[in-house]
Amino acid sequence: MQLLDSLGRTINYLRLSVTDRCNMRCFYCMPEAGVVKRGHEAILSYEELLLIAETAIGLGIEKVRITGGEPLVRAGIAGFLSRLAGISGLRHLALTTNGLLLAEMAADLHDAGVQRLNVSLDSLNPRTFAEITRGGDLKRVLEGLDAAERAGFPPPKLNVVIMRGINDNEILNLAELTRERGNPVRFIEYMPVVREDGWQRYCISGEEILKRLAKHHTLEQVDKGAFAGPSRDFRIPGARGTIGIITAVSGHFCSDCNRIRVTSTGQAKGCLFSDEKTDLIPYLRPPDPEGLARVLNEIVAAKPERHDITKDGYGHENFTMAQVGG
Ligand code: SAM
Ligand code: SF4
């Protein structure tokens, strides 16, 4: 079955956030004090998350990415993933993590049926890494990457948010990981989720990142495989890993957008930057699979054509990525 939106885009990708809590505090994602703690009942139970996934897969979703907050801090995550992996019709199960708990959990994630890991890694300098993440330990993340490969995962994709004056001096070193370690590295434009004054000072466009790389390397363009993300992909000749550029802000991958999102509190969104959200709780408590299928279809049908975050005067409600799941 194919799930199409009103513009004819195939929607086959669900990003499901399982928690808004995190064991890091990346300054571009979360306030230093963390997110406002919610009562247990505000967060969807694993049963509820499974019902959403199963219903969405029944409608045509083929790929599910588990995200957060930090998904590995939620108790019982491996058991949940294993049940999710067992849903018939799911072709690809991926998880995005900050990697802090990966060293101890990689084998369980692999056994559960997760096929691919994305790990966020914004710096190879322990001090810069700790500054960006407000205390994160780079060494543990690197140990986590090794553990993931030992457990049988392909080299995790590394998500790098490039910010001017913070880590843009590391673009070449980070790209080098595609040769040294063989990980795909994806450079992501900084997104103004909390629109505090002066947010533009951090922004570096994907084009500029690409130009800086091209000064030092001949980049080969790479064709995208099935379930490829919204990046434009390149390769330094001979490198095992690819370099992806995600122009979430400046360029528009909206025309190829294939995703919907559900937050850990059960809010479904057709676009990260739209204020439109639909509360799924009425279809989960008590469970109403038919109502849920209907409302998911409506969300897909109403998916906006594109975001307009770079337009002057455009505003969206402030939110943290940790609430929506990136
Ligand atoms: N905790 C996990 C992690 O960090 O990978 C998963 C959740 S995190 C919200 C998902 C992704 O969103 C991360 O790769 C993170 O770098 C990205 N992200 C968060 N805030 C961002 C921002 N303001 N601009 C661009 N990317 C952002
Ligand atoms: Fe936590 Fe990920 Fe947000 Fe960093 S980006 S604060 S690791 S949820």
Give the CATH number of the domain where residue 132 resides: 3.20.20.70
pLDDT value of residue 264 = 95
First to last CA, the chain: 27
247 inside domain: yes
249 CA from centroid of ligand 1 (Å): 14
The dihedral of CA 276, 319, 41, 50: what is its sign? positive
> For 28-42, 181-195, 291-305, which range has the lowest pLDDT when averaged over its residues?
28-42
Tell me the ligand closest to 23's alpha carbon. 2
- Write out residues with Cβ below 6 Å of ligand 2: 22, 24-26, 29-30, 68-70, 98, 120, 321-322
The pLDDT of residue 308 is above 90: no
Share above pLDDT 90 across residues of the chain, in percent, rounded to a whole number: 69
* Residue whose CA lies nearest to ligand 2 atom number 8: 69
Q: Whose structure tokens read 């103004």? A: 192
218 CA from centroid of ligand 1 (Å): 29
Whether the CB-CB separation of 166 and 190 falls below 8 Å is answered with no
pLDDT value of residue 252 = 62
Q: What is the pTM of this model?
A: 0.92
287 CA from centroid of ligand 1 (Å): 31
Determine the atom of ligand 1 nearest the C-alpha atom of 192.
23
285 inside domain: yes
Measured from the CB, is residue 321 less than 6 Å from ligand 1? yes
294 contacts: CB under 8 Å, gap ≥ 6: none
pLDDT value of residue 6 = 75
Determine the atom of ligand 2 nearest the C-alpha atom of 70.
8
3 inside domain: no
Residue 256: CB atoms within 10 A of its CB come to 12
Give CA–CA dist 82/94, Å, rounded: 12
Instruction: Name the DSSP letter for residue 10.
Output: B
275 CA from centroid of ligand 1 (Å): 19
Q: Whose structure tokens read 């091209």? A: 214
201 contacts: CB under 8 Å, gap ≥ 6: 164, 165
Tell me the ligand closest to 72's alpha carbon. 1
Residue 224: CB atoms within 10 A of its CB come to 14
Tell me the ligand closest to 248's alpha carbon. 1
Counted domains in the chain: 1
1 CA from centroid of ligand 1 (Å): 31
pLDDT value of residue 156 = 98
5 inside domain: no
278 CA from centroid of ligand 2 (Å): 24
DSSP string, 40-104: GGGSPPHHHHHHHHHHHHHHT--EEEEESS-GGGSTTHHHHHHHHHTSTT--EEEEEE-STTHHH
* Residue whose CA lies nearest to ligand 1 atom number 8: 326
**Which H, E and C letters describe 185-242, residue by residue?**
EEEEECCCCCCCCCHHHHCCCHHHHHHHHHCCCCCEECCCCCCCCCCEEEECCCCCCC
129 inside domain: yes
The pLDDT of residue 213 is above 60: yes
133 CA from centroid of ligand 2 (Å): 8
4 inside domain: no
Range of the domain at 135: 13-324
The pLDDT of residue 278 is above 60: yes
- Band (pLDDT 50/70/90 cuts) for residue 309 is low
- Band (pLDDT 50/70/90 cuts) for residue 228 is low
Determine the atom of ligand 2 nearest the C-alpha atom of 322.
8
Q: Which among 7, 22, 58, 45 has a CA at the least distance from the CA of 292?
A: 58
22 CA from centroid of ligand 2 (Å): 6
Instruction: Name the DSSP letter for residue 149.
Output: H
Residue 226: CB atoms within 10 A of its CB come to 9
- Band (pLDDT 50/70/90 cuts) for residue 79 is very high
- Band (pLDDT 50/70/90 cuts) for residue 318 is low
- Mean per-residue pLDDT, 283-295: 97
Measured from the CB, is residue 28 less than 6 Å from ligand 1? yes
Residue bearing the bigger pLDDT, 40 or 316: 40
Q: Which amino acid is at 287?
A: P
59 inside domain: yes
Pocket test for ligand 2, best of 20, 21, 23, 25 (most atoms within 8 A of CB): 25
79 inside domain: yes
* Token pair listed for 33: 């004090």
* Per-residue pLDDT reduced to its tens digit, 6-45: 777 888 999 999 999 999 999 888 888 877 778 788 999 9
